[in-house]
Chain A
């Protein structure tokens, strides 16, 4: 499969553009791409534009996952059991 878009033989292909995406995202540069060829591709390629919008959206939505969840009560019970068998902790507690 040729990577070049047949409608734009001299332009950057989707594959070439998408290869640059990890670095562009890491640099926070997807909104203002300096490379003129890459910027030109993005301006005319609906597919790559949609891809960037989706990936930005996913990264943004990831913050929703910060919402904390509750462990079961069993976890604390096991921790207490673990502490009870921990000699250094048990010795400290015993002194008190």
Chain B
């Protein structure tokens, strides 16, 4: 199956999670063997990259079931297309791009047209962050743990979550996000800002009511 819009070309710049990782021992050899159809080499590549791919899918999609499905899709696609990997960029970068594009395509198929549907990338009034012109509430600094942040990110509207994950977690630049989401750079900046505002709101609510379900709080 030819996947429309899937960028199989090798990226010039490496995104965050993958950029910070050194070359992996045994990877190059496994890639070459995988190109020849070696099943053990596929298994090795999966073992080396499954956590990164799955974590990326989980962050972008916000739920385990879909993240596992997309991880499966990403590796199947990788194994079918590995022959076109020429080593001009890091393998992890190539795999990262492939995964991001597959997830975006999946979301579009589901009807989440990330840009053209304003209500998706610009969530409804209820989901939008409240503007903050006068409160003097406690600050967040030093008080947020990873679990709380995970839950808050998973509670974000899809459009906000996508831009936040791509920029703040994965380290993509606004111009790269704009290309991926087919929106303007200004739109990417604006959505990121709204995502952070919404997260602030969710995290403050969670601090005020620690037992509260953030999913409900986000609605």
Say if the beta carbon of B4 comes within 8 Å of chain A.
no
Q: Which of A26, A55, A79 contacts B46 (CB 8 A)?
A: A79
| B37–A71 touching, CB < 8 Å | no
CA distance A88 to B79 in the complex (A): 10
Query: Which one of B103-111, B114-122, B191-199 is at the interface?
Result: B191-199
Say if the beta carbon of B211 comes within 8 Å of chain A.
no
Give the interface SS of chain A, mostly helix, strand, loop or mixed: helix
Q: Which of B59, B134, B168, B174 contacts A59 (CB 8 A)?
A: B168
| A64–B80 touching, CB < 8 Å | no
How many A-B contacts if CB must be within 8 Å? 138
* Binary CB contact string for chain B from 6 to 42 against chain A (1 if under 8 A, 0 otherwise): 0000000000110010000000000000001111001
| A86–B139 touching, CB < 8 Å | no
Q: 13 A-B Cβ contacts within 8 A? A: A13-B133, A14-B134, A22-B192, A26-B192, A47-B135, A54-B200, A57-B142, A61-B146, A65-B150, A71-B50, A71-B68, A79-B75, A92-B37
Q: How far is the CB of B67 from chain A (nearest CB, A)?
A: 7
Say if the beta carbon of A34 comes within 8 Å of chain B.
no
| B54–A53 touching, CB < 8 Å | no
